[in-house]
Amino acid sequence: MTMPPIRRRTLLASLALASPALAQTGAPIRIIVPFGPGSGTDVTLRMLVPRMTEYLGQPLVIENRPGAGSTIGTDVVAKGPADGSLFVHATLSSIGIAAALYRRLPYDPIRDLAPIAATVFVPLVLAVTTKDFEPRTPAALIEALRAAPDRYQYGSNGIGATGHLASANFVTRIGARAVHVPYRSGAETITALVAGQIHFMHDITGLLLPHHQAGTVRCLFVTSDERSPVMPDVPTLREAGVPHYPAYSWFGLFGPAATPRPVQERMSAAVQHALADPVVAGRLAELGTPTMPGYGPDRFAAYVREETALWGPLVRASGATAD
């Protein structure tokens, strides 16, 4: 039996309204990375995109929009069209930290964004430059920082980024002072560390590993409870005798708050498809960023609320502000 043309058109229009992505099959989907090229969020997303494209049957376009500790790119999506055409690969700093760091944040991380899927968990490592810098152990670094307040500098990929707060928390916990130097991307920060323009920083183990192996930087300890499988020679924070402090991040996909539920589910499924690929998961493990499978819209939303409640007091206690 053939459906009458008018009824068929009505049904197709209803489906399009229920799930805008159905009306956009083949159209590119933009995913904003609120950090520069070479950052952890950028590298991670570029590993996921081929498998996500495979699942969706639509091209995904990555757009780097760095600035203001990742809030510029995140705000673009918070205020963007909720039709399945725009998402952001955001981080703990964009969401859970930004609300406490900025007094005039242009978006509300909970109200204005829809959590789609978590991608990876990100333990950090503290590294020092080996260029004209004497400290080569955690104890020596702590001693140097305590002995010369504000003489030494640490870098990060922006005010309010997790690398910034990790270093700020470290300095506070050891009773020292150091100067923060923000850069536009993690790659720029690592380049500055190698050149000796800054003295220490926190970042992902996988991004610092090649420089650690080359001897241009020295990784002193990882902030996780266990040693990193990609950096087994580097002790944990506890093994190094350093007072505990929060130093980690996570990445995840978000859309505008009004993104229809069918679109959220479809994009979440695409992320899960990518994370389930053994090659992708293996490459992410080599970076020291284990995957977070199973964090769909509901579970991820609950996790985001918990992290926001946890990090707000930590940010305020650190004294860090961005405006």
Share of the chain above pLDDT 70, in %: 92
Query: Mind listing the pLDDT tens digit for each residue in 214-260?
Result: 999 999 999 988 899 889 999 999 999 998 888 999 999 999 999 99
| Domain around 40 | 5-121+249-318
State the average pLDDT over residues 269-284: 97
Work out how many domains the chain is built from and give that number. 2
- Report the CATH number that the domain containing residue 94 is assigned in CATH: 3.40.190.150
pTM > 0.85: no
pLDDT digits (tens, 9 = 90+) for 170-192: 999 999 999 999 998 888 999 99
**Beta-ladder partners of 179:** 153
Query: In this structure, are strands 113-129 and 200-204 parallel, antiparallel, or unpaired?
Result: antiparallel
From CA 202, how far away is CA 185, in angstroms rounded? 13
Q: Are residues 116 and 131 part of one domain?
A: no
Same domain, 218 and 290: no
CB 230 within 8 A of CB 224: no
Query: Looking at the structure, do residues 73 and 89 belong to the same domain, yes or no?
Result: yes
Looking at the fold, whether 129 and 144 belong to one and the same domain comes out as yes
Q: Is residue 231 part of a domain?
A: no
Q: Please name the residue that has the structure tokens 């703990």.
A: 92
288-to-1, 188, 247, 284, 313 alpha-carbon distances in Å:
57, 20, 14, 7, 27
Q: Within this chain, do residues 109 and 130 fall inside the same structural domain, yes or no?
A: no
CATH code, 163? 3.40.190.10
Q: Is residue 164 part of a domain?
A: yes
In which band, very low, low, confident or very high, does the pLDDT at 25 lie, cut at 50, 70 and 90?
low
